[in-house]
A and B are shown apart, each in its own frame.
Chain A
Amino acid sequence: AQSVTQLDSQVPVFEEAPVELRCNYSSSVSVYLFWYVQYPNQGLQLLLKYLSGSTLVKGINGFEAEFNKSQTSFHLRKPSVHISDTAEYFCAVTHYSGGGADGLTFGKGTHLIIQP
């Protein structure tokens, strides 16, 4: 079984400051990792994903994440946030079970609050 833990339910940050949203996962097999963003009253959008290769993954809107297998982490970072980054961020994991994907397992989400 796989699981995802997002360590912070809420992260307040001042505008133009850097931010890190933490995500840890557990799985007994190789995993694929994702970060999604949900703006108010909207569905989820993919920010970035790690499938294989370079452990530093760059996504949309200036976000990046680093896969750390030894720490079982996939933290999301942005060097300078904007008011428009205020949203809920979800870390998710899936693995290939031979017959197909079993769907994504999501963390509980981190609410990023940007303060002017």
Chain B
Amino acid sequence: NAGVTQTPKFQVLKTGQSMTLQCAQDMNHEYMSWYRQDPGMGLRLIHYSVGAGITDQGEVPNGYNVSRSTTEDFPLRLLSAAPSQTSVYFCASSYGAGITDTQYFGPGTRLTVL
């Protein structure tokens, strides 16, 4: 198993540009989520999904969209990038709803918005 994969690993955007961060898992996990990690802030939940076709907002959803058309993929879209979205983004997945099940994290995408 490849586990949780994220692409790209690094990305530089200009303010106002759009892009999609890709996340895929091959473990047949139902639960997937996106976090952003900022210095001194820990990880903060952006959006999560408990299964295909179901998504919900986390702590910091503004400026981000998600969709879950398949069990395997959970892309994160930035419609109009802002410098405040400069961060490291982590995708995670788990078999169940994330309570008793271990969450597996991807290697992260480092995004810089100029």
CB of A103 within 8 A of CB of B42, answer no
Residues of A42-78 contacting chain B, CB below 8 A: 42-46, 49, 51
* Given A90-B42, A104-B45: A46 in contact with B31 (beta carbons within 8 A): no
CB of A108 within 8 A of CB of B98, answer no
CB < 8 Å neighbour of A107 from B31, B42, B107: B42
Taking Cβ atoms with an 8 Å cutoff, the residues of A that contact B are 4, 6, 9, 32, 36, 42-46, 49, 51, 90, 92, 94, 96, 100-109
CB < 8 Å neighbour of B99 from A9, A36, A96: A96
CB < 8 Å neighbour of A43 from B33, B44, B108: B108
**Cβ of A108 to closest chain B Cβ, rounded Å:** 4
CB of A104 within 8 A of CB of B98, answer yes
Name which residue of chain B comes closest to A49, CB basis.
Answer: B102
CB of B40 within 8 A of CB of A9, answer yes
Apart from the given pairs A43-B4, A100-B97, A106-B35, 7 other A-B contacts in the complex at a CB distance below 8 Å? A4-B42, A43-B105, A44-B92, A90-B42, A94-B98, A103-B58, A108-B42
Chain B residues with CB under 8 Å of A104's CB are 43, 45, 98, 103
Name which residue of chain A comes closest to B101, CB basis.
Answer: A101
Report the count of interface residues on B (CB-CB < 8 A).
Answer: 26
CB of A90 within 8 A of CB of B97, answer no
CB of A106 within 8 A of CB of B43, answer yes
CB of A42 within 8 A of CB of B107, answer yes
Chain A residues with CB under 8 Å of B42's CB are 4, 6, 90, 106-109
Chain B residues with CB under 8 Å of A109's CB are 40, 42
Is the C-beta of B48 less than 8 angstroms from some C-beta in chain A? yes
Chain B residues with CB under 8 Å of A103's CB are 33, 45, 48, 58-59, 98
CB of A46 within 8 A of CB of B99, answer no
CB of A100 within 8 A of CB of B50, answer yes
Of A43, A94, A108, most buried by chain B (CB within 10 Å of CB) is A43
CB of B43 within 8 A of CB of A90, answer yes
